[in-house]
């Protein structure tokens, strides 16, 4: 397990403590003490307990414990006076009090301890590409993405996207995947392609028992595979319905894209976009190719609008004025098309809110989509951004945290970055700093968290740290102080820019 707190990462398996990517040297007993306190952070830990678990019951003096405790505090930037990480309760014990997020070693994303509540939930894991070639792998990914899109339209079902394959033939794999995702049901399967023919097999598994509730096989031409998600969704509804009292499900009308190449380009573009901020420009180029082939394809239009605003806000636009015009055009066209799904709708609204369309209308649009699709994490993420633009940081924090509850295996950066930005505008700079550091750990190429982090340090009077963050920012973009017209409240614009200016002065 890897634990993140503040600027630090503690890797249990590798026995490493890191700060901002660099290794922090600690003695073995100091590491053990820190790890034990962190793993038992929900309660006070007595001195006797530490002697038992860190020193295995060997007789040592209290001065030895005090020495190791001081070393642990120093390693994580704490002190006996500040006690921001390790708090001492006189004559009672010690407690690790910093906010912590966790990541399972080998998983690509952070997870939170929150759960998605009691809503029936299904985890969708990548389908196995049985043919072993890249085209089959891309097709398998595309099938899963389409299935997820259809399932998110089922209002009573929470959908969680997994990050690793599960072997449907092995009970242990099914049970482990269910535990990891925290879901009631698991959907997995395989795709086998031979020329232009494809066979897709799907399995619905009850996560608690590993029982296969339903399975189906689809044989046909590659171009017909886009009809598969509706068939899978109908089968899932029947399969789950045998085990719970679910009402009839009416899925939104929708069909396969009119151009297969446009769809493939869009799938590839989305994967690029979510992988790292530095990949936003090439993702936009692919989306524009898709739009040229299918001018009314809502998902491509909406993601293109998002890419345009991200290129401007990240400082990667060669012509911000032109990108602004194109972004507005893409987003408006996405909302106008009948083929806009919930995610496309909120993406377009988020882009238009950034480009200074009436933010009240955009916020209302996103709210309406959320009412119909309360389990779609991406909708909450866009809502958090729109709330931040509109000057409602508390709502932005709440909605961003909802993303982590609904999709615990998603990349942490976008959601936790918005949490940090919300804390910044609430002037909770101490709370913003660890969230922003986690966002940067997730994606070091994302400029926005650097700016907010530097401003936080500046307002806390830590100009050397602020200047160091600005230098890291300059390594990825020449735009230190961005255009902040997307922030509706003047006091937020002033707070943000003033903090960046102070931080930039600390870098000289």
Phi-psi region of 56 (alpha: psi -120 to 50; beta: other; left: phi over 0): left
- For residue 52 the two structure tokens come to 């038992």
Q: Domain 257-357 maps to which CATH number in 1.25.40.10, 1.10.3720.10, 3.30.420.40, 3.40.30.10?
A: 1.25.40.10
- For residue 386 the two structure tokens come to 């729109």
Which fold, 121-241?
A: Rossmann fold (3.40.50)
- Listed in sequence order, the DSSP H helices in 165-279 are 171-181, 228-241, 260-275
Question: What span, in angstroms and rounded, lies between the C-alpha atoms of 461 and 148?
Answer: 47
Q: Pick from 75, 64, 69: which is nearest to 88 by CA?
A: 69
pLDDT of the residue at 383: 93
pLDDT of the residue at 219: 74
pLDDT of the residue at 243: 41
257-357 against 399-508: fold identical:
yes
Following DSSP, what letter does each residue of 15-74 receive, concatenated? TEEEETTEEEP--HHHHHHHHHHHHTTTS-B-HHHHHHHHSTT----HHHHHHHHHHHHH
Kindly report the CATH number that applies to the domain delimited by 2-103. Answer: 1.10.10.10
One digit per residue, the tens of pLDDT, for the chain of length 508 reads 777 776 677 888 788 887 744 678 899 989 999 999 998 888 899 988 888 888 887 777 888 888 999 999 999 988 888 888 899 988 889 999 887 766 544 433 333 333 333 456 788 887 887 777 776 777 777 777 777 776 766 555 677 776 554 454 454 565 666 667 777 778 888 888 777 787 878 777 777 666 666 677 777 776 665 565 555 555 554 444 444 333 322 222 234 567 778 887 888 888 889 888 999 999 999 999 999 999 989 889 999 999 999 999 999 999 999 999 999 999 999 988 855 578 889 999 999 999 987 788 888 888 888 877 776 788 899 999 999 999 999 999 999 988 877 766 567 789 999 999 999 999 999 999 999 999 999 899 999 999 999 999 999 999 999 999 999 999 999 999 999 999 999 999 999 999 999 999 866 6
Q: Pick from 341, 171, 172: which is nearest to 251 by CA?
A: 341
> Residue 144, Cβ neighbours under 10 Å: how many?
21
The helix or strand, by DSSP H or E, that contains position 159, with its residue range, turns out to be strand 158-161
Q: Domain 399-508 maps to which CATH number in 3.60.70.12, 3.30.210.10, 2.40.100.20, 1.25.40.10?
A: 1.25.40.10
- For residue 432 the two structure tokens come to 């913003």
Following DSSP, what letter does each residue of 107-128 receive, concatenated? -SS-B-S---TTS-EEEE-PPE
Q: Where are the domains of the chain?
A: 2-103, 121-241, 257-357, 399-508
pLDDT of the residue at 430: 94
Question: What span, in angstroms and rounded, lies between the C-alpha atoms of 416 and 173?
Answer: 30
Q: Pick from 184, 238, 235, 181: which is nearest to 209 by CA?
A: 184
């Amino acid at each position: 397990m890897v634990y993140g707190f503040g600027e630090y990462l503690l890797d249990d398996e590798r026995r490493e403590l890191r700060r901002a990517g660099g290794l922090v040297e600690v003695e073995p007993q100091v590491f053990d003490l820190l790890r034990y306190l962190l793993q038992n952070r929900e309660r006070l830990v007595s001195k006797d307990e530490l002697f038992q678990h860190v020193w295995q019951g060997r007789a040592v003096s209290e001065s030895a414990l005090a020495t190791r405790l001081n070393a642990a505090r120093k390693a994580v930037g704490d002190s006996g006076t500040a006690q921001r990480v390790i708090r001492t309760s006189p004559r009672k014990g010690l407690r690790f009090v910093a906010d912590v997020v966790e990541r399972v070693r080998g998983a690509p994303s952070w997870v939170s301890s929150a759960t998605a509540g009691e809503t029936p939930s299904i985890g969708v894991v990548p389908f196995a590409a049985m043919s072993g070639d890249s085209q089959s792998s891309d097709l398998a990914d595309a099938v899963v993405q389409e299935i997820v899109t259809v399932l998110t339209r089922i209002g009573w079902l929470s959908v969680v996207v997994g990050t690793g394959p599960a072997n449907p033939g092995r009970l242990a794999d099914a049970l482990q995947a269910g535990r990891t995702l925290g879901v009631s049901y698991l959907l997995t399967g395989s795709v086998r392609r031979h020329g232009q023919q494809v066979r897709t097999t799907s399995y619905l598994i009850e996560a608690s028992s590993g029982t296969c509730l339903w399975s189906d096989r689809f044989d046909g031409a590659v171009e017909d595979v886009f009809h598969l998600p509706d068939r899978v969704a109908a089968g899932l509804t029947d399969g789950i319905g045998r085990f719970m009292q679910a009402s009839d499900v009416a899925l939104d009308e929708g069909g396969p894209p009119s151009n297969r190449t446009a769809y493939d380009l869009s799938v590839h573009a989305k994967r690029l976009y979510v992988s790292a901020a530095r990949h936003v420009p090439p993702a936009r180029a692919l989306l524009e190719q898709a739009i040229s082939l299918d001018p009314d394809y809502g998902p491509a239009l909406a993601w293109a609008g998002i890419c345009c605003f991200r290129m401007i806000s990240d400082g990667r636009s060669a012509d911000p004025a032109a990108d602004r015009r194109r972004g507005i055009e893409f987003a408006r066209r996405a909302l106008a098309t009948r083929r806009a799904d919930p995610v496309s709708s909120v993406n377009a609204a988020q882009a238009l809110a950034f480009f200074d369309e009436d933010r009240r209308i955009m916020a209302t649009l996103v709210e309406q989509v959320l009412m119909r699709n309360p389990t779609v994490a991406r909708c909450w993420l866009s809502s958090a951004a729109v709330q931040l633009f509109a000057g409602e940081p508390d709502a932005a924090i709440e909605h961003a945290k909802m993303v982590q509850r609904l999709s615990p295996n998603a990349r942490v950066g976008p959601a936790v970055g918005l949490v940090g930005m919300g804390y910044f505008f609430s002037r909770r700079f101490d709370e913003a700093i660890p969230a922003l550091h986690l966002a940067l750990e997730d994606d070091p190429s994302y400029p926005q968290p650097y700016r907010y982090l530097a401003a936080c340090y500046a307002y806390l009077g830590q100009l050397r740290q602020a200047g160091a963050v600005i230098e890291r920012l300059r390594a990825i973009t020449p735009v230190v102080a961005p255009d902040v017209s997307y922030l509706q409240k003047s006091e937020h614009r002033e707070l943000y820019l003033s903090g960046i200016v102070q931080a930039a002065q600390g870098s000289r």
